[in-house]
Every structure is written in C-alpha cells, then in structure tokens.
Amino acid sequence: HSCGKCGKSFSRGSSLNRHLRIHREEKPLSCPNCGRLFPCPVAFREHLGTPCPLRPHPCPSCHKRFASARSLRGHLLTHLGDGAFRCPQCGKNLSTGSALRVHQRIHTGERPYGCQDCGKSFMATKSLSKHRKSHHEGRRPHVCSECGKSFREGTTLRRHQRIHTGEKPYGCSYCQKSFRASSTLIIHQRIHTGEKPYECPKCPKCFVSSSSLRKHLRTH
C-alpha cells in the first residue's frame, strides 16, 4: 500500500488511510470528554466506549463524561428542557429529583433535619452537617471592634458592622430605600413586583419570604 502523494509505503490499508489525512489536512478526531486526539476513527470509537480515568462521572442521558460530580450536575440542567425536575412553585430547574425535593422545602417551610444538641432544624443534611461543625466547635474568630460581638464568618461580621457604620449598600431600583444585606433587598423588591414565591401547602396564601411562610404555618 503506497501513498500516491509522496510514495511512502505501508503494510496495511488502514495505515495508508491514516497517513493520507496528512495530505488532505484532515483534523484528527477529538474526544469531547478528555480532549485526546485520534487520527484513526476505529481507535476513536474504541476510546469512546471505555471509561475515561480523567472524567469518571458519565451523564446518563448523553454519556458525556465529567471530571467532577459538580460539573455533571451542571451539565444535567441542559437536559431539562421538558422540565423533568422543575419546581412547580417557582419554575426553577434542578439537576436531580433529590435536589428538587430539598429545594421545595423552601416553599413548604419543612426542616426535617434537627440538631440533637441545640434543636435548630435544617432543610438538608448538608446544612445540618455544616451547622454542627461550626456550632459545636464554638469558634468565633471574627470580632466586632465596636461592640465586641463575635462571629464565625467574616461575611457575617461585615454585615453586622453596617449597624454601626449605617452603611446600606443595596439600593432598591423601584424606590429610594436601601438595605444592609442583599437578601433583605430581594425580599423588599417583591413588594413592588408582587412576587410571592412561598406558597402555603395548607391554604391558598402566598408570601414574599420563607420566614413569613414559617410564621404563617404556625397558625394552622
């Protein structure tokens, strides 16, 4: 088997075909998962059929692989055009059914995971684990220079210090009001937009915040 372009000889036709791509300036086949290049379609197909050690997390829908579970979860959202895991209350798309169940607790106010030591409850086991770690270590390294109050996280301290400085960096685009925390601004703006994403599961009432919903649920 000899190349008609340069005269180079090969023992197999497949080797000749692979060589001919050099003359045709064909680009080698690239694996969409790990980026590895293959000049031969056979080797490329074989590679696609084997688990990639660099990307061990496969998508069950399209078989594309990812280096981390987090990347896979983000990719799964691209398959949710039919709203497979869409929240019926607010329309948010979630990557898995379990993530949807946790998300819906924002609307229902359900907090099934309680701390055995202090009684505080949480919507997800991950939140409970984080709480137990910070709560029971008892570390509050971030201290306010004005009043001496201490906090576990620097972001919480900075938000607290705005009480002393009077700083309110989050301004409402609908009115002149401003707020110390972005979360407070989001809740406030729902007064203008009329949005009430937290629906009571026991009656038709809806609320602008999860805390308002929890307060209401105690009346049932």
Tally helices (H) and strands (E) across the chain. Answer: 8, 12
Q: Classify 76 as helix, strand or coil.
A: helix
- CA distance linking residue 69 with residue 75, whole number of Å: 10
Q: Is the pLDDT of residue 213 over 80?
A: yes
pTM summary value: 0.38
Place 102 in a pLDDT band, splitting at 50, 70 and 90. Answer: confident
Same fold, 89-139 and 143-219: yes
Do 166 and 178 contact (CB within 8 A), yes or no?
A: no
pLDDT tens-digit profile of 118-173?
A: 677 888 888 888 777 766 566 677 788 888 888 877 888 888 888 888 888 888 88
Q: Cα Rg for the chain, rounded, in angstroms? A: 28
CATH of span 143-219: 3.30.160.60
Look at 123 and 95; give whichever has higher pLDDT: 123
User: What mean pLDDT do residues 210-217 have?
Assistant: 88
pLDDT > 90 in the chain, percent: 0
pLDDT in tens, 65-76: 777 777 777 777
Q: Which CATH architecture has domain 89-139?
A: 2-Layer Sandwich (3.30)
Name the pLDDT band for 22 (thresholds 50, 70, 90): low
Note the pLDDT tens digit of each residue in 79-94.
655 556 777 777 777 7
d(CA 105, CA 173): 29
Residue among 135, 124, 125, 160 at smallest CA distance from 145: 160
Q: Is the pLDDT of residue 116 over 80?
A: no
Q: Select from 176, 146, 143 the least CA-distant residue to 163.
A: 146
Parse the chain into domains and list their residue ranges: 29-83, 89-139, 143-219
Residues 152 and 166: beta-carbon distance below 8 Å: no
